[in-house]
Amino acid sequence: MKKNRSSGFDRRNTINFYAFIAPWLFGFLVLTVYPMLESFRLSLTDTGFTGDGSYIGFANFIQALSTETRVLTAFKNTFFYVLMFVPLNLILSFFLGWLLSRKIKFLGFFRSVFYIPYLTAGVAVTIMWGWLFNGTYGLINYTLSLFGIQGPNWLGDKNTALICIVVMNLWSIGNNVLIMLAGIQDIPTSYYESAEIDGASTWRQIWSITVPLSTPTIYFNLVMGVIGAFQLFNQPYILTDGGPVDSTLTVSLFIFRNAFEYGKMGYASSVAWLLFVAIMVLVLLIQSTQKKWVFYGDS
Amino acid sequence: MKKVFVILLAAAMLLSMMSFASADEPALSGKLTIWAWGADAEAEQRDAIIQAFIKAHPELEVEYSIIPTADSVWDQKAAAALTSGSAPDVIQMSPDYFGMNTKYYMDLRPFVERDGVDLDEVLVPGMIEGYYDTDGKLEGFPMHANIFCMAINKDMFDEAGVAYPEEGWTLDDMMDWGKAFIGGEGANKTYALAKHWVMNAAMPYAGGGTPYADDLSECYMNSPEIQKSLELYQKLILEGYMPNDAESQAIPSAILFQSGLCAMYPLGGFESASFLADCEENGINVGLVPMPMGVGENAKEINVIYATGWAITTTAKNPDAAWAFLKENAYANEEMGKATATCGMPAGKEVAENFYAKIEYPGFGTYFNDYMVEHLAKSHINPWGGTLASTGDIWANMVQAVTMDGMSPEEAMAKYSQQCMDEFSSYGFATAMKAN
């Protein structure tokens, strides 16, 4: 009798479980799993804009990896962006998060100031930065000219265009700052009090307490930052259209152009899968190192 | 009684004639679905065209949508509908856009033959050619087309003592007299020619050649003429006749002209009304002159056609009504033709010559629209539309390499022209045409 009641309870529990996750599961299967499988199928075809295409095996992947020089350029640019943006993003957001965790005047104001750029519409911000960086009319070059310096054509020079995009994106790291701040505020104050009693300097406290105990947050920001940075699209699309001379052509922009401007759906899908693999490999690499440098509270 | 008999006989004859006529041209009935793209003035134009058709055909139930093109909304919707077989009877298309050379559009030649119409008689010259696909099928029918003429700032020309350009002028000529317009620094920098977005599409013709054969069988992106085009483009920008990409991104080319900072602006038919009104508002004394010619013996005008038309989809449920819509918009319904004229030159010769060409712009008379009618056949279909955009992007890289990256035209040709050739040969239709 007891057994029956228990199995009835379990069954109800199971039904409830599936009923509650069903909407999400449905969305996940229809909006994520199915498109992924379909894009993999497309990547093995020469499907065009209107859906026509036949099976061509791995020809798209071979073309992308061997003959198409622009794919290589797009991956090179994207890696370069990730290498510049992600570490700077982590350092800056940690530093700002730490500053905002201090007991200073106008704390609420400063927290808002750093968070507002994150809330501002991306396209508007991008256009604004385009004006700031403009070689002829831009505020940055105007300011430099006051000191007798002739600024470069920031977005028109292939050596500076991608750096401008890094700077632009560093301006809106408010969300990462907020996550860092939450992580730093989670550290028990007693650790700092003990350190102070022991005579540790502020720098020593940061290095020996704040940084190690913030590593789970840093790890989270690192993984999310890498994934986000690999998908860079808006700024090069709006500001430079991938130029000059493909110097801001990113993989996402390359995929978009091939799919929606050139009508090469199959080829675009294959490059999208290459991007997926690149992100996955890098995230797995980061994950494999986490035991060595991420310290959780209970470890 | 005799009179009644005569009247009855005449009525019977008339009826029989009418029934004979309708044997060729089936009576229309049922539902017709139409999809158009566009926003703002374009959307209003499409709406007016369709409303004129509805007015002329109360016997039809017309259902239509005007879909925005921004953010690829049109592309996605049209592609999904065509591939899933749920496309409307009539769908807007363009000869330089996606859709041509696929299985989704009906061949319109049987309709044309059934009507026994000589298209050269009823359509503006140069209007229909782009709608034939590579195997000769007529896949679309024109609605309107737009080309460019050159707007000049007459005050700047007068102050510089430069004569207004006349028919046949070339960019090579401009290298002499255009210097008079270059000057200033920073926000006051002045130029001879605005860098309109059409320049990347038009400039391949500046050297006197063409980027590829009209029938798409050969690509000529490695030709000396293309190199000459690059040389001209480089000179225009490096010597300050025209702003470079970065400069022109900050101030739209129309505003540069309307601010009195630029002596010439390639003016498209689609923007003429608002552009000229804005010039007047800003006190710019505008004149209109022809676009320049390419250099060399066989060179044509450096001018590009942006054309729009309609296709009947192969899944159309009411092809006869769909054909009625296409032909009436093109040449057989005056009201539809006039509604079309608000955004470009209508396809029909009658409306183009007798209505569109006579539309006057204050201060310019009928010059602008007269010019459009006269110069259409001398212009080229946008060379980088639709699938060809990928080759166009490589051309854009060649241009940036010589104008922003310090490369010489020879180096740029050596680096990129083969990429263009390879990209072009990767198109299915190019391979097919070469085999033929």
- Give ipTM to 2 decimals: 0.77
Q: Across the strands, what pairs with A208? A: none
Residue of A nearest to B87 (CA): A50
Which of A38, A49, A239 should one mutate to test binding to chain B, selecting the residue with the greatest count of B CBs within 10 A?
Answer: A49
**DSSP states of B258-319:** HTT-EEEEEEEGGGHHHHHHHHHHTT--EEEEPPPBPSSTT--BS-EEEEEEEEEBTT-S-H
Cβ proximity of B405 and A243 under 8 Å: no
Residue of B nearest to A136 (CA): B186
Q: How far apart are CA A91 and CA B129, in angstroms?
A: 60
**DSSP states of B217-268:** S-B-TTSHHHHHHHHHHHHHHHTTSS--HHHHHHS-HHHHHHTT-EEEEEEE
Decide if domain B148-302+384-435 falls under CATH 3.40.190.10: yes
Residue of B nearest to A157 (CA): B404
User: What is the pLDDT, as a whole number, of residue B83?
Assistant: 80
Q: Which of A51, A264, A49, A44 lies closest to B85, judged by CA?
A: A51
Q: What are the domain boundaries of chain B? A: 27-146+305-378, 148-302+384-435
Cβ proximity of B106 and B312 under 8 Å: yes
pLDDT in tens, B263-286: 999 998 888 878 888 999 999 999
The answer to whether B404 contacts A263, with C-beta atoms less than 8 Å apart, is no
User: What is the pLDDT, as a whole number, of residue A194?
Assistant: 94
User: What is the pLDDT, as a whole number, of residue B26?
Assistant: 74
**DSSP states of B152-220:** EEHHHHHHHTPPPP-TT-BHHHHHHHGGGG-B--GGG-BEEE---TTHHHHGGGTTS--SB-TTSS-B-
Tell me if chain A has a CB within 8 Å of the CB of B83: yes
Query: Does the structure show a pLDDT above 80 at B97?
Result: no
How far off is chain B from A25, nearest CA to CA, in Å? 25
Question: What are the CA-CA distances from residue B161 to residues B158, B168, B275 (Å)?
Answer: 5, 20, 25
pLDDT in tens, B50-74: 999 999 999 999 999 999 877 678 8
Mean pLDDT of B297-319: 91
Parallel, antiparallel or unpaired: strands B262-268 and B30-37: unpaired
Q: How far apart are CA A164 and CA A288, in angstroms?
A: 32
Give residue A131's Cα distance to chain centre.
Answer: 24
Helix (H, G, I), strand (E, B) or coil at B64: strand
Cβ proximity of B432 and B215 under 8 Å: no
How far off is chain A from B178, nearest CA to CA, in Å? 21
Question: What are the CA-CA distances from residue B239 to residues B169, B179, B204 (Å)?
Answer: 19, 9, 19
How far off is chain A from B341, nearest CA to CA, in Å? 29
- B152 Cβ partners below 8 Å, 6+ apart? B164, B165, B263, B264, B265, B286, B287, B288, B289
Question: Roughly how many angstroms between the first and final C-alpha of chain A, as a whole number?
Answer: 45
User: What is the pLDDT, as a whole number, of residue A201?
Assistant: 93
Q: How far apart are CA A36 and CA A206, in angstroms?
A: 43
pLDDT band at residue B434 using 50, 70 and 90 as cut-offs: low
Chain B partners within 8 Å of A262 (Cβ): 387, 389-390
- Report the share of chain B in percent with pLDDT over 90: 56
Mean pLDDT of B102-127: 91
Mean pLDDT of B315-337: 96
User: What is the pLDDT, as a whole number, of residue B231?
Assistant: 95
3-state secondary structure A213-282: HHHHHHHHHHHHHHHHHHCCCHHHHHHHCCCCCCCCCCHHHHHHHHHHHCCCHHHHHHHHHHHHHHHHHH
DSSP assigned state of B69: -
CATH class label, B27-146+305-378: alpha beta
User: What is the pLDDT, as a whole number, of residue B42?
Assistant: 85
User: What is the pLDDT, as a whole number, of residue A4?
Assistant: 61
The answer to whether B186 contacts A246, with C-beta atoms less than 8 Å apart, is no
pLDDT in tens, B240-259: 999 887 777 778 899 999 99
Chain B partners within 8 Å of A156 (Cβ): 244-247, 404
Measure CB to CB from residue A245 to each of B75, B82, B401 and give the nearest one: B401
pLDDT in tens, B198-230: 999 999 999 989 999 887 888 999 999 999 999
User: What is the pLDDT, as a whole number, of residue B17?
Assistant: 43
Q: Do domains B27-146+305-378 and B148-302+384-435 have the same CATH topology?
A: yes
Residues 52-71 on A with a CB inside 8 Å of B are 52, 69
DSSP assigned state of B379: S
Query: Does the structure show a pLDDT above 70 at B3?
Result: no
Q: What would the two tokens of residue A1 be?
A: 């009798």
- B21 Cβ partners below 8 Å, 6+ apart? none
The answer to whether A50 contacts B82, with C-beta atoms less than 8 Å apart, is yes
Average pLDDT, chain B: 87
Mean pLDDT of B311-337: 95
Cβ proximity of B303 and B378 under 8 Å: yes
How far off is chain A from B410, nearest CA to CA, in Å? 16
pLDDT in tens, B22-54: 445 678 889 999 999 988 888 999 999 999 999
Low-confidence ranges of chain A (pLDDT < 50): 1
Q: Which of A124, A128, A123, A126 lies closest to A139, judged by CA?
A: A128
**DSSP states of A175-213:** HHHHHHHHHHHTS-HHHHHHHHHTT--HHHHIIIIIHHH
Which of A63, A126, A136 should one mutate to test binding to chain B, selecting the residue with the greatest count of B CBs within 10 A?
Answer: A136
Chain A partners within 8 Å of B189 (Cβ): 136
Interface contacts (A, B; CB < 8 Å): 90
Q: How far apart are CA A245 and CA B397, in angstroms?
A: 5
Q: Which of B399, B23, B418, B8 lies closest to B221, judged by CA?
A: B418
Query: Does the structure show a pLDDT above 50 at B14?
Result: no
pLDDT in tens, A58-78: 999 999 998 778 899 999 999
User: What is the pLDDT, as a whole number, of residue A5?
Assistant: 62
Burial class (CB in 10 A: 0-12, 13-18, 19+), B431: middle
User: What is the pLDDT, as a whole number, of residue B426?
Assistant: 83
Query: Does the structure show a pLDDT above 80 at B398?
Result: yes
